[in-house]
Amino acid sequence: MLPDLFTPSTLRALELAGIFVFAISGALLAVRKNFDVFGIAVLAEATALGGGIFRDLIIGAVPPAAFTDLGYFLTPLVATVLVFFLHPQVERIQRGVYVFDAAGLGLFCVTGTTKAYEYGLGLTSSATLGLATAVGGGVIRDVLANEIPSLLRWDRDLYAVPAIIGATIVALAIRLDALNTATSMLAAATAFGVRLLAIRYHLRAPRAWNRRSETAEEE
């Protein structure tokens, strides 16, 4: 068994914060796509909760937390209302939203990996589900909005890589019997920092060598 790294109330508060900022990103994309209020709410909910629901279904933690804790469901609706009425103002603080989104990414890759391991998965599988927890909602968001998922696009700043790094640190800490609050926060902070560096310097994954595709590059 792993140690209790956070009190339940602290963990819930951190997860709700991550859910809120992910929901903001989903709602903003819905506004850009000219969705109605229902579409905005659906995209906000899917972005915020999709990764966690996927993880919980895979590990058998059913019903998923998103369906047993009303706060998990209501938080994206709060983000929906905020964006619906104040989206021009929210767009202006988009850089700040990116910072919080990076923080949510760091948190979810840690909690996702830890929860998967507690449910009996191996280290590699746990780290993989930690990645899925962090980025799954964004993939669902893009698919619903008829976009190529940012996770698969070379012209987007690194997103999966920071989550992979954070999840791998957690897995290594478990392997070395060194998982505690400090190492968990180190993993989350590392993922957070790498994501911010990717945003700041537009770091991107390499494409195939000797690529001859003439497909138009999207901005």
The per-residue pLDDT for range 13-62, each reduced to its tens digit, is 778 888 998 898 899 889 889 999 999 999 999 999 999 999 999 999 99
Residue type, 61: A
pLDDT of residue 166: 97
Domain limits of the chain?
A: 8-201
Q: Is 96 exposed, middle or buried (0-12, 13-18, 19+ CB in 10 A)?
A: exposed
**Predicted TM-score of the model (pTM):** 0.87
* 90 φ, ψ (degrees, to nearest 5): -65, -40
Which position has the token pair 């602290």? 10
Other beta carbons within 10 Å of 210: 4
pLDDT string in tens for the chain (219-residue length): 566 666 677 778 778 888 998 898 899 889 889 999 999 999 999 999 999 999 999 999 999 989 999 999 999 999 999 999 988 877 676 777 788 788 889 989 998 999 999 999 999 999 999 999 999 999 999 999 999 998 888 888 999 999 999 999 999 999 999 998 899 999 999 999 999 999 999 999 888 887 765 555 544
pLDDT of residue 170: 95
Specify whether the CB–CB gap between 59 and 116 falls below 8 A.
yes
Which position has the token pair 């910072």? 99
